A and B are shown apart, each in its own frame.
Chain A
Amino acid sequence: MTIHQVLFIVIALAILGAAIFVVTTSNLFRAALMMILTFFGVAGLFVLLDIGLFAVAQVLIYIGAISILVIFAVMLTRGMQGMVPRNSQAVAAAVVAGIIFFVLLLLFGPLRTTIDVARWPIVSLFARNVSPRDVGGVEWIPPGQPIPAVPETYIADFGRALVDLNQYLLPFLLIAFLVDVVLAGAIFIARQRRPAEVIEDRQRQAEEAAEEAEAMRRAGMTPDVAALPEGAVASTAEH
C-alpha cells in the first residue's frame, strides 16, 4: 500500500464518518460543524489528486462561505433561542440524497468506461469541437492503470477555458451576470435611504394616519361600539 492509498483511506473514512454524523445527529449546529469537516475532507481528496486550486477553492467557498451561511441559517431561525435545534426531516433528506447518489453513480460510476461530457446536450451547447478532457470530462481509469499526472499549467488552462468561446465562456458570463444581479438586489434591499426620502416617508405616514383617523370618524367609531354599554347603543340607534 502506498502512502497515497493510506491517506485516501484515512480521508475517506473521515468524510464518511462526518457525513454519517451530519445525517444522524439531532443537533443541527453540530451537524453543520461536521459538514465543515466533510468539506475539509473533500479538499483533502483534491490535494491527493494534485489539484491544489480546487482544494483551496473548496476551502474558500464551501467552508468560508457556504458553511457559514448554513450555520447562520441554523442560528437565526426563529424558535432556536434557548433550545437545541433538532432535525426532523432526516428520512426525506436520506431519500433525496440516495436518489441523487444513484443518478450520479449512473452518470459517472464504474458502469461507464468513458464519460464523454462533450456529448451531453447542455454541455455540447457551449462546447464544440473539443475532446472530453478539454471540457473537464473524466476518462474512467481501470484499477491498476497509472493515473495521468495533472499538467503543470492547469491553472492557466483552467483560466483560458473560462474565457474560450468554444468552452465555458457562456456559462461563465451567465454566472457573472447572476452574481451582478444578486449584488444589485442586495444593495437595493439594504440601501440607506436619503434624508429627503425619509422626509417624504414621514409626510406620507402622517397623511395616512390622518386619513385613517378621518375614516374612523366617518365610520362612526364602529370599532368602539361593541365596547359601549347596551343602552348607549340603543340611544344612538334612536337618533
Chain B
Amino acid sequence: MNFINDLLKIIGDFIAGIINSIFGFSPFLADLVTMGLAAVILCTFAALSFMGLTYVERKVVARIQDRVGPNQAGPLGLLQPIADGIKMFTKEDTTPAAADRWVYNLAPLVIAVFALTTYAVLPFAPDVVGTNLNVGVFYIIAVGSGSIVAIIMAGWGSNNKYALLGAFRTVAQLVGYEVPMLLNVLPVVMLAGSMSLVDIINQQTTLNGNPGIPFIVFFPLSALVFLISGIAETARSPFDLLEAESEIVAGFHVEYSGMKFALFFLGEYVNALAVAFVFSTLFLGGYAGPVLPPYIWLLLKAAAVFFVFMWLRGTLPRIRVDQMHNMNWKFFVPVSIVHLVVVMALLKLFVTNPAMAQANGGILVTPGVQAAILFTASMLILIGSLMIAARRARIMRLQEEAVLEQRRAENIAAVSA
C-alpha cells in the first residue's frame, strides 16, 4: 500500500538516483539535470492533459447539449486530439504583412511559457512538488498576470483592429478579476499562516495524515468567488468576451493559424487546469484524502473542478461586457473586502492554537467550532450581499421603468398637442 501511495516519489527518487550515479563527479550538474528533467516532465504532463482535456470537454459539452461529439477518429473518437494536432501542424503558418514580426511571433510562446510556469509550485503528492516556494500562492497570481502581456503582444503585433479590441477587453477583464482572486486567497493564507501551497495542504490535513477540514468549509464565499474569478482569469465561457466571435471575430488571436494558434489554445487549457489544481489545493485539501493514493485524490478533485468549468461552458450564454465589469467591481470586490475584514476579526477572536491564545488573547476553540463560526459568517455575508444586490437590482429596474413610463407619457402629450 505504501508503494502505491508514494509511487510518484519512488519513481522520482529512482530517476534522481540514476542521474546521480551518471553525474556523480559533479553534484551541481546532477542537480541541474534532475531539475531540467522535472521541468520537462511537468510541461509534458500539462501538454498531454491539454490534449486529453480538449477531447473530454468536447464530449461533455456535446452530452450537455444533446449531441454526440467527436466519434469518428478511433474508438469513441479517442484519437480526435491527435487528428486535431496533425491538422494544426499541417496548416499554413501565416503572418500578416503589416504585423510587427517579432512581437507577433513571440506572443504565443510567451503565453505558453507563463501558463506552464504555474505548475512549478503545485504539490502533486507529499514531497512531490517542483519547488516548495514560501510565496507559492502569490507566485501563482503573479505569473497569471504575465499572460496579459502575451495577449497585448498578440493584439498589437497582429496589426488588426479586431485583435486590438480583443486585447483591450482582455486587459480590462484580466486585470479586474485579479483583484477578487487575490482578496479571496487572503483568508486562506491567514488561516494557514503561510503562502506555501504545501503548508496550506498540511493545514487541511490532521497530524496523522488523515484529511482534516478543507478550507471550503471555512470560507464558502471565498471559494465561490475564487472559482468564478478563476474562470474569468482564464477567459473561459461564459467570460470568453475576448474571443467573442459574433462581436470581434476571434479577438486577439484572429490572425494566428496553425501551431501558433494551437499554443494560444494550449495556454488557455493549461491555465484553466492550473486554476482547477489551485482551487483544489486551496479549498479542497489538495492531495489529502482517505484510502486512495494522494496523487489520485488531487487529480479527482481537479477533474471535478474542471467538470464544473465544462458544465458552465455547456450551459451558460456569454455575458455582456458591462455585466462582467459590474459583477466584478460592484459585487465581488466589495463583498470580498467585507468578508476579509470579518474573517480577520473572527480569526483574532477565535483561535485554535493555545500558545497564540496565551500571547494575543482571544477565545480558545477547537478547529471544528472555528470552522462552524467562519462558515456561518461567510454564508451570512454571501446571502446578505445577494439579498442587497437583488434589492438594488429591483430598484434600478423600477427606476428604469419609471423613466420609460415618463418618456411614453411625454410622447403621448407631444402627439396629442
Contacts and interface: CB of A to CB of B under 8 A. Distances in A.
Interface of A: 3, 29-30, 33, 36, 52-53, 56-57, 59-60, 63-65, 67-68, 71-72, 75, 155, 194-196, 198-199
A75 B406 contact: no
Contacts of A30: 100, 102-103
A36 B150 CA distance: 11
A52 B135 contact: yes
B156 A29 contact: yes
Contact of B142 (A60, A72, A196): A60
Contacts of A3: 28
Interface of B: 28, 100, 102-103, 133-135, 138-139, 141-143, 145-146, 148-149, 152-153, 156, 164, 171, 175, 178, 195, 396, 399-400, 402-403, 406
23 contacts: A3-B28, A29-B100, A29-B156, A33-B149, A52-B134, A53-B135, A57-B142, A59-B145, A59-B146, A60-B145, A63-B142, A63-B145, A63-B149, A64-B145, A67-B149, A68-B171, A71-B152, A72-B171, A155-B195, A195-B399, A195-B402, A196-B399, A199-B406
Nearest to A156: B193
Given A30-B103, A72-B171, A198-B403, A52 B146 contact: no
Given A30-B100, A33-B103, A155-B135, A64 B403 contact: no
Given A155-B195, A195-B399, A56 B135 contact: yes
Given A29-B100, A64-B148, A52 B403 contact: no
Contacts of A155: 134-135, 195
A68 B152 contact: yes
A191 B192 CA distance: 37
A181 to B, nearest CB: 16
Given A52-B134, A53-B134, 8 more contacts: A29-B156, A56-B139, A63-B149, A68-B171, A71-B156, A155-B195, A198-B403, A199-B403
A63 B149 CA distance: 8
Nearest to A196: B399
A46 to B, nearest CB: 11
A67 B178 CA distance: 16
A59 B152 contact: no
B77 to A, nearest CB: 39
A72 B172 CA distance: 11
B402 to A, nearest CB: 7
Given A30-B100, A52-B133, A155-B135, A195 B146 contact: no
Contacts of B178: 64
Contacts of B142: 56-57, 59-60, 63-64
Contacts of A29: 100, 103, 156
B145 A195 contact: no
A3 B406 CA distance: 76
Contacts of B102: 30
Q: Which of A30, A64, A68 counts the most chain B CB atoms within 10 A?
A: A64
A195 B149 CA distance: 38
B164 A75 contact: yes
A199 B143 CA distance: 46
Contacts of B402: 195
B203 to A, nearest CB: 16
A52 B140 CA distance: 12
A59 B195 CA distance: 17
B76 to A, nearest CB: 42
Nearest to B131: A52
Contacts of B396: 194-195
Nearest to B326: A192
B138 A53 contact: yes
Contacts of B134: 52-53, 155
Contacts of A59: 142-143, 145-146
Contact of A63 (B100, B146, B406): B146
A40 to B, nearest CB: 9
B156 A75 contact: yes
A57 B402 CA distance: 49
B135 A65 contact: no
A157 to B, nearest CB: 13
A201 to B, nearest CB: 11
Contacts of A65: 145, 175
Nearest to B397: A195
A193 B291 CA distance: 57
B165 to A, nearest CB: 11
A65 B182 CA distance: 14
8 closest A-B pairs by CB:
A64-B145, A60-B142, A195-B399, A59-B142, A195-B403, A56-B142, A56-B138, A52-B135
Contacts of B195: 155
Nearest to A53: B135
A134 to B, nearest CB: 21
A194 B399 contact: yes
Contacts of A60: 138, 141-142, 145
Contacts of A64: 142, 145-146, 148, 175, 178
A57 B135 CA distance: 10
A64 B171 CA distance: 10
Contact of B175 (A53, A56, A68, A199): A68
B149 A36 contact: yes
Given A56-B135, A195-B402, A68 B149 contact: yes
Contacts of B133: 52
A9 B414 CA distance: 79
Contacts of B148: 64, 68
Nearest to A52: B135
B417 to A, nearest CB: 15
Contacts of A52: 133-135, 139
